[in-house]
Amino acid sequence: MAMNDANDSASRLAAYEARTETPLDLLALLTLWIVVVPPGDFGTDGVGDIVLAARFGLSAVYGIDLIIRSVLSGRRAHYAMTHPLRVLTVVFPPTRVIFSLRLVQTMFRRGHLERFLLAAAVLVLNGAVIVYLFERHAPHSNIRTLGEAVWWAVVTVTTVGYGDYTPVTVYGRITAVLIMLVGLLTLAVVTAQVASNFIAQGPGRTRRSPQPQAAPPEVTLAELDRRLARIEQLLTAAPSSERIAQVPERGSGGEGS
């Protein structure tokens, strides 16, 4: 009975983890800017309050997730003790980014184009927020609002490069380089996917693909002996047939003479 309860708890926990793994990883990836930007750069113009509210909100989400996992496991205290990193994410939410690296890893798996595009878009959005936080108070910077930062990120990731907005800080330019790399990688992946689809849908592909041929039936020794006996019978019967056919010809010739 205890074994069945343990199996049920494990199956429920596995089902819950399968449903929530990607959304939680995506949530952590969306808040990557909280990890990258130092707290002192958030300022006092309302952005700091937003960051503080975001951190409390993330702590609440991760805390609820930890409670649900502990209940489903059937061993609440033991689950919390054996998963210290999840407990740490409740206290310090930015550490949850470690789990979101699984989402970035799946970007490069074959057949995950939708997930790749989603993760790439999230990374670009994070880059826009990071550049905004670094550039908004920098001297000689023309990226002063979040909208300008998003516009700059879109122009950069598409490799258009209008030049109307440019980062001037060191961290802003490093972020710009990473966004450029994401744009080039996305362009390469999408181009390869489109080319692969065209090749797969080509009219000559089905014509060139060899059709499987049925294997010839195996001939046993008994069947081979029967065939040889039949051939020998036909060969021995052939001379007798020729002699029978020649008798009327000689008879008809004698009568004519």
User: What is the distance, to the nearest Å, from the Cα of residue 221 to the centroid of all Cα atoms in its chain?
Assistant: 54
pLDDT in tens, 42-89: 666 677 777 788 888 888 999 999 899 888 887 778 888 888 888 888
The pLDDT, as a whole number, for residue 64 is 92
Q: State the 10-residue block means of pLDDT for the chain, 257 residues long.
A: 63 85 83 77 69 85 90 82 86 80 65 78 89 87 89 87 84 90 85 78 56 60 76 74 54 46
Helix 84-91 and helix 47-73, axial crossing angle in degrees, nearest 10: 150
* Nearest-angstrom CA–CA distance, 133 and 155: 18
* CATH number at 107-197: 1.10.287.70
The pLDDT, as a whole number, for residue 256 is 46
Tell me 161's DSSP state.
Answer: -
| Domain ranges, ordered by start, for the chain | 7-103, 107-197
The pLDDT, as a whole number, for residue 240 is 58
- pTM for the whole thing? 0.63
Phi, psi torsion values for 212, nearest 5 degrees: -65, 130
The pLDDT, as a whole number, for residue 40 is 67
Phi, psi torsion values for 167, nearest 5 degrees: -75, 150
- Tokens found for residue 134: 């670094």
Confirm if 65 and 3 have CB atoms less than 8 A apart. Answer: no
pLDDT in tens, 165-182: 889 999 899 999 999 988
